[in-house]
Amino acid sequence: MAIGLVPSLALADPIASPAPKPIPSNTPDDVFGFLDDSTVLAAGTRKLKYTFLPSSGGGSATWGQKIALNYGATENLEIGLAILYQPTDSTLPGNSSRQLTLAAPMQYVFIQRMQNGTGFALITTPSFGTTRNSSTMGETNWSLDNHFALDHDFNGTFFIGLNLGYTAGATNGRQNPSGTFYIQGAATVKLSPHFYWGVELQASQQMNGFFSGNAGWATFAGTSISVPMTPSFTFSAAYMRQLAGRETSNPAANLNTQNFSQNMGKAALAFYF
């Protein structure tokens, strides 16, 4: 009788092993060149970044320089402050200018990107600046850029990204504000632990007003590299060239150099602490 009361341990279900935790996507800064990805700084981490932004087109050349300080406010939110100085030299009389801009970028991640996973974020950048040139006493200008960043990590070795955005802006002394719709796509491959290489495409539509009045369009293609030297220091660079474009006021033009640059460059040094 006692034997019948003993439970049979051999028939008990084995204890299930816990599922492995997802691995966070670990990529260097600016892995997509001109595009933003969906990752933010770890909470409490700071990033000091210097960026050189040369561009040219339509008989003018701009040598932009930007210094930015970003901070990981939470696991999902990154905030920052940036100062951009853009001197433009032109072969056309009265078109040379000097522009100084203060910006406050913010990035919020809705879906954290993991290895073999997709990420989704919103980047908002309000900015205010002043422009001086030889033909005016000086102008103030503002802009607000909003774009979504969607990207995917394939096992930490291959990355694809998409940015979809709109920039609104206005300058005092001008009746009409302006707006620009744009879409960017990129693919980046990890060639070694300290070298990433990618390609990207961009299409932009310039408006005479915020949402009306077609001013012209342009398409671009380019390449990028990212070199994470150490966990605290990264170098990155990118270049894009306008492939085609049309100006509404000059439909016979092969490129749109009135609203967009023909060549755009970017080189950045980022320090994390």
From first to last of its 273 residues, the chain has per-residue pLDDT tens of 444 444 444 444 555 555 556 666 767 778 899 999 999 999 999 999 999 999 999 889 999 999 999 999 999 999 999 999 999 988 776 678 899 999 999 999 999 998 899 999 999 999 999 988 766 667 899 999 999 999 999 999 999 999 999 999 998 756 568 899 999 999 999 999 999 999 999 999 999 888 888 889 999 999 999 999 998 999 999 999 999 999 998 888 889 998 899 999 999 999 999
| Token representation of residue 83 | 């100062």
- Give the number of other Cβ atoms within 10 Å of residue 37's Cβ: 26
Q: d(Cα 85, Cα 133) in Å, to the nearest integer?
A: 14
> What's the confidence (pLDDT) of residue 15?
58
Question: Can you give the CATH number for the domain in which 37 is found?
Answer: 2.40.128.130
The H or E element spanning position 2 is helix 2-5
Q: For residue 53, give the amino acid letter.
A: L
At 252 the three-state DSSP class reads coil
Q: d(Cα 34, Cα 41) in Å, to the nearest integer?
A: 18
> What's the confidence (pLDDT) of residue 14?
53
Q: For residue 262, which of 224, 230, 220, 216 has the smallest C-alpha distance?
A: 220
> What's the confidence (pLDDT) of residue 10?
45
Let me know if residue 11 belongs to a domain: no
> Are the C-beta atoms of 70 and 105 separated by less than 8 Å?
yes
Q: d(Cα 162, Cα 164) in Å, to the nearest integer?
A: 7
Let me know if residue 12 belongs to a domain: no
> What's the confidence (pLDDT) of residue 1?
42
Let me know if residue 16 belongs to a domain: no
> 47: left (phi > 0), else alpha (psi -120 to 50), else beta?
beta
Let me know if residue 6 belongs to a domain: no
Let me know if residue 46 belongs to a domain: yes
Domains in the chain, number:
1
Let me know if residue 98 belongs to a domain: yes
> What's the confidence (pLDDT) of residue 16?
56
At 19 the three-state DSSP class reads coil
Strands 195-207 and 214-230: antiparallel
Let me know if residue 7 belongs to a domain: no
Q: d(Cα 232, Cα 74) in Å, to the nearest integer?
A: 19
The H or E element spanning position 149 is strand 139-154
Q: d(Cα 37, Cα 163) in Å, to the nearest integer?
A: 8
pTM score, whole prediction: 0.87
| Token representation of residue 204 | 């932009």
| Token representation of residue 117 | 């996973």
The boundaries of the domain holding residue 188 are 27-272
Let me know if residue 205 belongs to a domain: yes
